[in-house]
């Protein structure tokens, strides 16, 4: 036997998710890379670990035994690393976050200084839509969640990080024909929506409903990045968070179209359950944010107030 910890990790993840594709996503690897590691691991045994039935992957009885053993080995390997760091007097452990998709433009800057100061911390950050972020809070799967609309169904603590501003954005309209900033302009434009479950979409739909507008939805896309590319291609207009379109605005590739009632504004908030017992790593991160939030904003987001 000559398997590696990496192969054990790949097999354990495949076994847990019963999918090579999902394991690749979770490990931030390509699907072919996971398939190769899985095959190399399998080749060291004379008994099959997995089987494919109706295009679905299943573990054999032997595979389940090996998966359980792999989990134990990986746990002990991590424990050895943690003990080593502890003897050095270093903070160690895992920090888990669930972040709404637009938060990918925010959260890394509030993490970088902390992660650089603590090499023993493993960061697991899931970037997804608001609905799935709320689910991760409901299931107590993460230390913290980053949202721009606070879920009301939970008893939460939260820390405001910075404002979240949303404007109507596109390749421009004839400003000579649009001088009164009337929200009814949206009725004349092809609008691009985020997918259902998105916080950005929720705020856009609330604005439209509050002004009793009848609008034309041209496209529905699954990420703010996809919406931005559609705007750049001239496919329509959308109400978008300012945080993700800095370069496009500064380069004049996109323009903010002034509308009465915009920008919509909330805050980027780091949230966690009030009853949650924070781990030493999570508590250390919260303390770091409280001490360094303002300097992080000044260092990375000084451009934000220009708009």
* Share of residues in the chain with pLDDT > 90 (%): 63
The 10s digit of each residue's pLDDT in 97-106 is 999 989 999 9
The 10s digit of each residue's pLDDT in 158-190 is 999 999 999 999 987 665 455 678 999 999 999
The 10s digit of each residue's pLDDT in 199-247 is 899 999 999 999 999 999 989 998 889 999 999 999 999 999 999 999 9
Residue ranges per structural domain of the chain: 5-87, 92-162+267-306, 164-265
pLDDT > 60? residue 60? yes
Closest Cα to residue 60, out of 45, 72, 80?
Answer: 45
What is the CATH topology of the domain spanning 164-265? D-Maltodextrin-Binding Protein; domain 2 (3.40.190)
In this chain, the answer to whether the domains covering 5-87 and 92-162+267-306 adopt an identical fold is: no
Cis peptide before 263 (omega within 30 of 0): yes
* pLDDT at 178 (0 to 100): 59
The 10s digit of each residue's pLDDT in 235-291 is 999 999 999 999 999 999 999 999 999 999 999 999 999 989 888 889 999 999 999
Alpha-carbon distance of 168 to 203, in angstroms, equals: 12
* pLDDT at 82 (0 to 100): 63
Confidence of residue 83 (pLDDT cuts 50, 70, 90): low
Alpha-carbon distance of 142 to 278, in angstroms, equals: 10
CB of 244 closer than 8 Å to CB of 102: yes
End-to-end CA distance of the chain: 61
Residue 264, beta-bridge partner list: 166
Confidence of residue 85 (pLDDT cuts 50, 70, 90): low
C-alpha pair distances (Å), 111 with each of 66, 183, 214: 36, 38, 42
Please report, to the nearest 10 degrees, the dihedral formed by the alpha carbons of residues 245, 249, 250, 251 taken in order: 110
Q: Which whole number is the average pLDDT over 128-150? A: 90
Domain at 92-162+267-306: CATH code: 3.40.190.10
Confidence of residue 76 (pLDDT cuts 50, 70, 90): confident
Contacts of 253 (CB under 8 A, 6+ apart): 232, 247
SS3 content of the chain, % helix, strand, coil (to 5): 50, 25, 30
* pLDDT at 267 (0 to 100): 94
Confidence of residue 10 (pLDDT cuts 50, 70, 90): very high
Mean pLDDT of the chain: 90
Closest Cα to residue 269, out of 153, 150, 154, 151?
Answer: 150
Domain at 5-87: CATH code: 1.10.10.10
Alpha-carbon distance of 26 to 13, in angstroms, equals: 8
Q: How many CB atoms lie within 10 A of CB 257?
A: 21
Alpha-carbon distance of 226 to 40, in angstroms, equals: 37
* pLDDT at 305 (0 to 100): 86
Confidence of residue 87 (pLDDT cuts 50, 70, 90): low
* pLDDT at 174 (0 to 100): 62
């Amino acid at each position: 036997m000559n398997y590696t910890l990496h192969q054990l990790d790949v097999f354990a993840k495949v076994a847990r998710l019963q999918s090579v594709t999902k394991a690749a996503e979770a490990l931030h690897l390509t699907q072919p890379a996971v398939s190769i590691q899985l095959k190399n691991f399998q080749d060291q045994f004379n008994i099959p670990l997995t089987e494919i039935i109706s295009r679905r992957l299943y573990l054999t009885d032997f595979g389940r035994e090996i998966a359980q053993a792999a989990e134990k080995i990986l746990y002990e390997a991590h424990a050895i690393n943690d003990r080593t760091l502890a003897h050095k007097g270093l903070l160690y452990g895992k920090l888990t976050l669930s972040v709404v998709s637009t938060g990918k433009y925010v959260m890394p800057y509030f993490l970088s200084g902390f992660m650089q100061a603590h090499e023993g911390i493993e960061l697991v950050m899931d970037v997804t839509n608001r609905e799935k972020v709320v689910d991760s809070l409901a299931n107590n799967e993460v230390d913290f969640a980053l949202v721009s609309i606070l879920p009301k169904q939970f008893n939460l603590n939260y820390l405001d990080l910075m404002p979240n501003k949303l404007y109507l954005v596109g390749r421009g309209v004839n400003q000579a024909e649009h001088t009164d900033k009337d929200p009814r302009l949206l009725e004349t434009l092809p609008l691009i929506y985020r997918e259902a479950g998105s916080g950005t979409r929720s705020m856009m739909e609330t604005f439209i409903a509050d002004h009793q507008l009848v609008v034309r939805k041209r496209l529905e896309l699954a990420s703010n990045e996809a919406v931005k590319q559609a705007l750049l291609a001239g496919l329509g207009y959308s109400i978008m968070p300012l945080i993700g379109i800095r370069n496009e605005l500064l380069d004049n590739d996109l323009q903010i179209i002034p509308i009465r009632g915009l920008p919509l504004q909330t805050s980027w908030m780091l949230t966690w359950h009030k009853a949650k017992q924070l781990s030493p790593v999570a508590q250390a991160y919260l303390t770091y944010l409280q001490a360094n939030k303002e300097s992080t904003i000044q260092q990375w987001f000084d451009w934000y107030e220009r708009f």
